[in-house]
């Protein structure tokens, strides 16, 4: 028990520095966080080739006793390694015993990971679900064992076993992507619009699309944009607000499954199916950075495509380089330092018997989950330095051609 007050002091100062850095107020801690994020990306490819293991563990005590367990969806996208690095730093600095496990795209592994952490005594589990619906069973077991469940970044749906949700503003992500296409499209009308979405198992994919549709739909309805690759979206083009089922139908056609290989083959198929009238100067809604890079590569090699504008999300290092090189138009920066810090602060409150502070709620189909929401930042070539380098997220030396 005494330990907790020491944790409180140490963690409070760590959180303060991290939050200051996230707001651009603390250069020193920003540099530390930067190296964590950078290390995460640097180790991504090494880990992918060196290990096919579905799990990575960190900071366990000799007894294997875990206070806070973290479950992340996959090591195959650099985004989640950035989050891992932040958790390891914050929880380690605060003296928590913790373990990070990866589910590697499998809901079964995810369930086993939760069971493992519960059996190791985790009082709090922070989980970013591989599949928001399938994860319900895993967290229901954890709840029964008395563990507090914090959904991280992706909401777990149709269960009352989620205590809190820590998230970025996902509607704003989609809205920013859609608005970017509108603001940067060539003038005139009849501009081909290619739509791509995330995985149908990820609640965020629906929210991102909903946000994008909220701004794109009027421009589709008035003929500025013409949908080039989705008959379902075309059929709904006069509807300003879509139901979840309607969004599901569109996602069913244009999902990337968050997988750059799927994104690549879909983009190839769409360009093969379309004639020159659906090429020329085009705009592309790509849901995240991995898919944006592969879709951009496909469009760049089609001689009938004279220019393309493509969105992204996550500020992955490879995409930041694409943005600098003019191969990807923008990315949405979601500062994982803030999201991890918010989760750790919540975990600390729970361990201290306090009610974590939240600022909104999210309906997960069963309950209104108390949530803490973090804003997002649009990054394009002009503000890479300000948002990603000056804030300490990356080092300038990690990129070429940066002014």
Interface with ligand GAL (CB under 6 A): 77, 79, 153-154, 198, 202, 204, 258, 288, 313-314, 334
Contact (CB, 8 A) for 209 and 175: no
CB of 291 to ligand GAL, least distance (A): 8
Whether 26 and 386 have beta carbons less than 8 Å apart is answered as no
CA 60 vs. chain centroid, Å, equals: 26
Nearer to ligand GAL by Cβ, of 224 and 294: the residue is 294
**3-state DSSP helix/strand/coil % of the chain, to nearest 5:** 50, 15, 35
- With respect to ligand GAL, which residue has the nearer C-beta, 163 or 316? 316
The residues, any chain, with a CB within 8 Å of residue 187's CB and separated by 6 or more, are none
Residue 79 or residue 143: which is nearer to ligand GAL going by CB?
79
β-strands 368-374, 360-363 pairing: antiparallel
Of 26 and 133, CB closest to ligand GAL: 133
- Neighbouring-strand partners of residue 72: 102
CB of 130 to ligand GAL, least distance (A): 10
The whole-angstrom separation of Cα 317 and Cα 309 is 19
Query: CA 321, CA 79: separation in Å to the nearest integer?
Result: 15
Least CB distance to ligand GAL at residue 300 (A) = 22
Q: Which is nearer to ligand GAL, 26 or 174 (CB)?
A: 174
Shortest CB 251 distance to ligand GAL, Å:
13
At its nearest, how many Å lie between ligand GAL and the CB of residue 203?
8
What's the min distance (Å) between Cβ of 288 and ligand GAL? 4
Nearer to ligand GAL, 224 or 319 (CB): 319
Number of CB atoms found within 10 A of residue 241's CB: 9
Q: Can you say whether the dihedral through the CA atoms of 240, 242, 246, 249 is positive or negative?
A: positive
Residue whose C-beta lies closest to ligand GAL: 204
With beta carbons less than 8 A apart as the criterion, state whether 72 and 128 touch. yes
Nearer to ligand GAL, 77 or 88 (CB): 77
Nearer residue to ligand GAL within complex by CB, 278 or 339? 339
CB of 152 to ligand GAL, least distance (A): 10
CA distance 156 to 96: 25
Closest separation between CB of residue 151 and ligand GAL, Å?
11
* First-residue to last-residue Cα distance in the chain: 51
What is the CA 68 to chain-centroid distance, rounded?
21
């Amino acid at each position: 028990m005494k330990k907790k007050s020491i944790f409180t002091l140490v963690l409070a100062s760590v959180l303060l520095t991290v939050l200051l850095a996230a707001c651009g107020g603390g250069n020193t801690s920003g540099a530390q966080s930067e190296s964590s994020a950078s290390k995460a990306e640097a180790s991504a490819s090494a880990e992918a080739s060196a290990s096919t293991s579905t799990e990575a563990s960190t900071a366990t005590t000799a007894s294997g006793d875990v206070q806070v367990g973290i479950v992340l969806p996959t090591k195959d996208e650099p985004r989640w390694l950035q989050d891992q690095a932040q958790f390891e730093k914050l929880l380690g600095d605060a003296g928590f015993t913790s373990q990070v496990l990866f589910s590697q795209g499998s809901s079964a592994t995810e369930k086993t990971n939760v069971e493992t952490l519960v059996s190791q005594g985790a009082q709090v589990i922070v989980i970013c679900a591989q599949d928001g619906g399938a994860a319900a069973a895993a967290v229901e077991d954890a709840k029964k064992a008395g563990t507090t469940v914090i959904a991280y970044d992706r909401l777990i749906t149709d269960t009352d076993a989620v205590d809190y949700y820590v998230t970025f503003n996902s509607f704003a992500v989609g809205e920013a992507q859609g608005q970017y296409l509108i603001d940067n499209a060539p003038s005139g009308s009849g501009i081909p619009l290619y739509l791509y979405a995330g995985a149908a198992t990820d609640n965020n994919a629906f929210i991102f699309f909903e946000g994008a549709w909220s701004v794109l739909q009027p421009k589709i309805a008035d003929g500025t944009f013409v949908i080039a690759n989705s008959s379902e979206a075309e059929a709904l083009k006069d509807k300003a607000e879509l139901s979840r089922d309607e969004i599901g139908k569109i996602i069913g056609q244009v999902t990337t499954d968050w997988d750059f290989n799927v994104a690549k083959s879909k983009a190839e198929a769409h360009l093969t199916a379309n004639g020159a009238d659906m090429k020329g100067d085009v705009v592309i809604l790509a849901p995240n950075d991995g898919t944006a890079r592969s879709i951009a590569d496909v469009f760049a090699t089609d001689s009938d495509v004279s220019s393309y504008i493509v969105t992204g999300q996550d500020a992955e290092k490879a995409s930041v380089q694409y943005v600098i090189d003019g191969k990807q138009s923008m990315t949405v920066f979601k500062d994982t330092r803030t999201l991890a810090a918010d989760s750790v602060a919540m975990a600390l409150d729970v361990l201290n018997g306090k009610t974590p502070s939240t600022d909104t709620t999210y309906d997960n189909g069963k309950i209104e989950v108390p949530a803490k929401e973090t804003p997002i930042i649009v990054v394009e070539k002009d503000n890479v330095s300000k948002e990603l380098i000056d804030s300490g997220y990356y080092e300038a030396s990690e990129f070429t051609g940066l002014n």
